[in-house]
Amino acid sequence: MDITDAARTKATPLVAPGSDEERRLNDMLRMCDDYRKDAAHFLEAGDLVRAFGAVYYAHAWVDAGVRIGWLDGHGDDELFTLP
């Protein structure tokens, strides 16, 4: 989960405040955060398969934001699939 946490922290918005893109990006980031919380819950419960699945989804949401150009990944090709 540390890698996903690092990606979530590093990625910064590129969308205009108040825009439709910002609303959509916020939805994506909320999904990232929700799946991250789910991953922590499953890990604490000892359910490693579901924890892995949830953190995988969490990272995918933030990575997608970078890929489509709504988040800046700051050139980090280890944390993100860069455009």
pLDDT of 83 > 90? The answer is no
Other Cβ atoms closer than 10 A to 39:
23
For the segment 56-76, what is each residue's pLDDT rounded down to a tens digit? 999 999 999 999 999 999 999
On whether residue 24 sits in a domain, the answer given is: yes
Q: What is the CATH number of the domain that holds 36?
A: 1.20.1270.90
On whether residue 78 sits in a domain, the answer given is: no
On whether residue 80 sits in a domain, the answer given is: no
pLDDT of 49 > 80? The answer is yes
On whether residue 34 sits in a domain, the answer given is: yes
For 28, residues 6+ apart whose C-beta sits below 8 A from its C-beta are 61, 62, 64, 65, 70
Report the C-alpha gap between 10 and 25 in whole angstroms: 15
Reported pTM: 0.92
On whether residue 60 sits in a domain, the answer given is: yes
Domain count, the chain: 1
Rounded average pLDDT over 38-56: 98
On whether residue 59 sits in a domain, the answer given is: yes
Rounded average pLDDT over 40-49: 98
On whether residue 83 sits in a domain, the answer given is: no
